[in-house]
Structures are given as C-alpha cells and as structure tokens.
A and B are shown apart, each in its own frame.
Chain A
Amino acid sequence: MSDTALTLSASLSRPAKTTSILPVSVRDLVLNFGETTVLRGLTLDLGPTGCTMVMGQNGSGKSLFLKLLHGLMQPTSGQIRWGEYPAEKVTARQALVFQKPVLLRRSVAANIDFALKARGKDRTRRDRILDHVGLLDKAGQPARLLSGGEAQRLALARALATDPEVLFLDEPTASLDPASVLMIERIVGDARARGVRIIFITHDIGQARRMADDVVFMHGGRIIEHSPASEFFPDPKSDVARDYLNGKLVV
C-alpha cells in the first residue's frame, strides 16, 4: 500500500459498527418487469472480505442484481440479508459507483463535500481523499469539465468519502484508457486492503484476473457459476462461461 493509502487508511478508519453487515446471503431472488422475468431465482453467499467480480454478457442482469444488493430496488420475491439486515436497511453503509459518473454541477471539492455532508462525515477529510485519487490540484475546478478518467476517480473518491463497508462498482472502467484503468484499480485495491468489501462488475477479463478473489458469472438472469478466481479462470465449470472467457459469441 502506498504512503498516501496508509495515511488515508488511518484518516478514514471508522469506528467499529456494532453489528456487521457481512457476509451477505441471497436466496431465490426474482425480479419481474411486468410480465418479463429479468432475474430468475438467484441464490448466492458472499464472504465478509475480498473482491467479487460479477461477469457476464450485457443483459445478463448484473447491474440489476447490484442495485438489488444495494437496496435501490425491491425484488419481486426472494430475500437478501446483509448480516441480519435486509438490503434496504444498509444502503447508507454502502456506496455505488456507476459506469457513467453522475457528477453534480459544482466544483470537484464541492462534489466530495456534498457526499460528506449527506452522510454526516467530517469535511476536513476532503483534501486527503482528493489527494489519494490524484485530484487535489483540481479541487476548485468544475467537476463536469474533468476528463473521463478524472471524473470516474472523483466518483470513486466521493463513494469512498462516505466510508462504506461495501463498495459496488458497475463497470467503472468501461470507457477509460489503460492508465486510467490502472489508477482506478489501484484505488479500489487500496480500499480492499483497508477492509472494504468490493463487488465489481466488469467485462474486462484481464481486469477480473488482476482484481478478483472470486467470480460470479451470470447469464440470462441466472447465476451460472460462483467460484474462486483461482478456479474460475483456468477451468470454468460451465460451457457458457468458458465460451465467454474464450471470446466466443454467446447467445
């Protein structure tokens, strides 16, 4: 971990919560949009630490699953338990970074301040957080004039500023150049090292290999496979995951 990350780790160290929201248990999760079933009986257990990569084709239900886990949507049926809590009760202890960063029409610093104020956090941490993501020198600039990579780092900084126990990332590096991707991965890696539970959607197989402790593979609204990364990449159990990893068109 870098010196900055160590400093940040100390500055962001949070008071111990009385009851952990980890591990997470998902049982028979179904989501319907009208007559259409988009998630079909998902069942999954995720441990209390590490980085879970969620993979699968577009339309396989990854983003919807993430929003259900984060409590932003209600399932049609089934259950999600974060520790002893339902998903909608722990949203404030988690953070989500979207594929397209949603930045307020304010300065870089004001975007962080907004999140800190919303979650009742100490605003004096803002500069340390911006320094950690390499944006301290742009603190006064309009956030929406940042480059794509900088904007995503700001979105990530804002998420981390809320001191989450779980960080969801929905393809945060989908349209970024390699240098920006590595910076995002470094920041996420630092967060994981501080004990933040990471749940990360990606289509980038190289990134998944670099980051994953375990992989959830989804297809057609189902979880096809959940394996440790050390098993998934060399020997995926399902044909559809094997074809996906080999770059074959999966219909």
Chain B
Amino acid sequence: MVLSGDSDLLEIVVLSLRVSLTATAIACFIGLIVGALVAISRFRGRNALLILMNALMGLPPVVVGLLVYLHLSRSGPLGFLGLLYTPTAMILAQTILITPIIAALSRQILEDLHAEYAEQFRSLCLTRMQTIQALLWDARYSLLTVGLAGFGRAVAEVGAVIIVGGNIDHLTRVMTTAIALETSKGDLALALALGIILLVIALGVNAAVQSVRMTAARQAYV
C-alpha cells in the first residue's frame, strides 16, 4: 500500500504535512520572537512568565482542541469565520499547542548565547532588534532542533485535530486521526501503512537536522 502510492493514503500524508508544517512555521515565527524578547529582557514578573512558558509546554492536546472548538463553533466568538472542521482550524490548534514549546526552548538557548555576547553587543551599541537578529542567526542550528521538536509534537498529535478537524474523509483526515479510525474499524493495513510513513517522516527529518548540525559543529557554528 505504501509503495503502490495509494491515492487516499497520499492525500492523508500530504494534508498531514501541510497542516503540521504550516503550524510549525507560524509557531516558529511567533515563538522565536517571544523567546528572543524574553531572553534579552529583564522586567518585573519575568520569573512568573518563565514558569508559565515552561508549564504551557505540557498543554494537553485535547484541552487545546476543546478551547479552539469552543471559539470556532457556531455559537463561539469566532464562529462567524466558519473555520470549524477545516484544515485551518487544525493548523490553529497545532500552532497553539507548539508555540509555547518553541518559545520556551528557544528562550533558554538564546539566553545562554546572549550571556556570552552581551558585553560585546553593548560595546557595539546594538539595538534590541539587531541583538535579536544576531542571536537568532548565531543560534540557527540549535534552533533547528527546537523547530523539529515542535514539528514532531504537531505531526504526532491526535487529540486536538480530531476535535477541531472532525476527521472528515478527503477534507480533514490526517495520519494520526486516520490511524485511530482505521484501527477502531479493524483496517490494520491502512493504519500500519500510515504508522510506517509517520515513523519514516520522523526519522528522515531527524536525520536531516542531525546532519546539518554535525556539519555546523565541525565549523564551530553550534
């Protein structure tokens, strides 16, 4: 089934990747900026914010799914957008789920790097924006791993997307929800095929990122 390129299978895989990669990209954009700002800033209540950021890393997907569902349902505040049971709703749920992961992990990496660079940057009179740009660029290989952690969490998640996506065939069915459904129906062949693809994607992305990091480490860029 995997090798024959079954069209249903392919459709599910492509949608999974589209949803999770889009959510990861949005979460990286928001999470890296938040992580960098918190990393270089000192303000009252910072410790409380750090605790909150770290706690949000463990957000239960079903709770996120429920909250997004309540907002997007017809009687909810964003019901007029008509997004419930669409891939956009799934992207939204996954973005909410992994943005705290990206923000918290990147904050730690960028704060450590900033401790090394801070005096040099002050001597060069860098602006806050220049400091953030420099930190993000110099930590780029470490941040790749952070992005990977976010993607891994998104693509493997089932609780949130099944609530806000509905697991509708040809519309919102992704790998994890399909595996859950097909297993319950007893169609283990499709479930296993999807499971294999999910594992291959996870291994492939990890291998690629590890390869990039090793190349960077050889040049002392990590």
Instruction: Spell out A's residues near B (CB within 8 Å).
Output: 67, 70, 72, 91-92, 94-96, 98, 102, 104-106, 114-115, 118-119, 142-145, 162
Contact = CB atoms under 8 A, between A and B. Distances in A.
- Looking at chain B's contact residues, is the secondary structure mostly helix, strand, loop, or mixed? helix
B221 A142 contact: yes
Nearest to A119: B124
A102 B124 contact: no
A87 to B, nearest CB: 12
B189 interface: no
A106 B124 contact: no
A114 B119 contact: no
Interface centre among B122, B124, B125, B126 (most CB of A within 10 A): B124
9 smallest beta-carbon distances between A and B, as pairs: A144-B220, A142-B219, A102-B120, A92-B125, A105-B138, A105-B221, A96-B123, A118-B124, A142-B220
B115 to A, nearest CB: 11
Interface centre among B122, B138, B222 (most CB of A within 10 A): B122
A109 B120 CA distance: 17
B116 A114 contact: no
Given A72-B119, A102-B120, A118 B125 contact: yes
B121 to A, nearest CB: 8
17 contacts: A67-B119, A72-B122, A98-B119, A98-B120, A102-B119, A104-B134, A104-B138, A106-B138, A114-B134, A118-B125, A118-B126, A119-B125, A142-B219, A142-B220, A144-B221, A145-B220, A162-B124
B221 A106 contact: yes
Contacts of A94: 123
Of the four ranges (under 10, 10 to 19, 20 to 34, 35 or more), the interface on chain B belongs to: 10 to 19
A96 B120 CA distance: 8
Interface string B130-143: 10001001100000
A57 to B, nearest CB: 22
B80 interface: no
Contacts of A92: 125
Contacts of A102: 116-117, 119-120
A62 to B, nearest CB: 15
A156 B124 CA distance: 13
A96 B119 CA distance: 9
A98 B120 CA distance: 8
A145 B222 CA distance: 12
Contacts of A162: 124
A230 to B, nearest CB: 32
A32 to B, nearest CB: 20
Contacts of A145: 219-220
A153 to B, nearest CB: 16
Contacts of A95: 123
Contacts of A115: 124
A151 to B, nearest CB: 11
Interface in B9-34: none
Interface in B196-222: 219-222
A91 B122 contact: yes
B220 A91 contact: no
B144 to A, nearest CB: 13
A143 B122 CA distance: 20
Contacts of A98: 119-120
A85 B138 CA distance: 34
B123 A105 contact: no
A143 B138 CA distance: 12
Nearest to B116: A102
B123 A72 contact: yes
